Amino acid sequence: MKQTRRKHSAAFKAEVALAAIKERETLAQLSERYGINQTTISTWKTEFLKHSAEVFSKGSTTSEEAFEKERTELYAKIGELEMQRDWLKKKSKQLGIL
C-alpha cells in the first residue's frame, strides 16, 4: 500500500519547531502528540533556528530577491510564448489552416 506524503503548513511547522525548542517534552512525546516523525521534528527545529535571524533582518530578504528574479524570468517567458503564438497564428492563416 502506497502512502502519500502529507503537506504541512508553515504555521504548523513553526508550532512544532517551537515546541521542540522549548524542550518541555521529548521528541518522542512531540512525535506522538503531533503525529510527525522525530527526525522531521528535528529537521524543522534546525531549519527554524537557522532562519530565525531573517525575521529581524532589514531590507530585502533572499526569498524576496528569489521571488523577484523568478517573476522577471516568468514575464520574459510569457512574452516569448506570446510572440510564438502570434507567429503561429500568422503562419496558420497563410497556410489556410485557420
Least trusted range by pLDDT, from 6-10, 25-29, 42-46, 57-61: 57-61
pLDDT in tens, 40-67: 999 999 999 998 887 777 665 677 788 8
Same domain assignment for residues 15 and 52: yes
Same domain, 34 and 45: yes
**39, part of any domain:** yes
Domain-embedded: residue 73? yes
- 51 and 12: one domain? yes
pTM: 0.55
Per-residue model confidence as pLDDT tens digits over 80-93: 999 999 999 999 98
Number of domain units in the chain: 2
Q: How far apart are CA 23 and CA 26, in angstroms?
A: 7
Whole-number Å distance between alpha carbons of 85 and 93: 12
Q: Which domain holds residue 22?
A: 7-58
Question: Please, what sign has the CA dihedral across residues 29, 33, 34, 37?
Answer: positive
Same domain, 67 and 91: yes
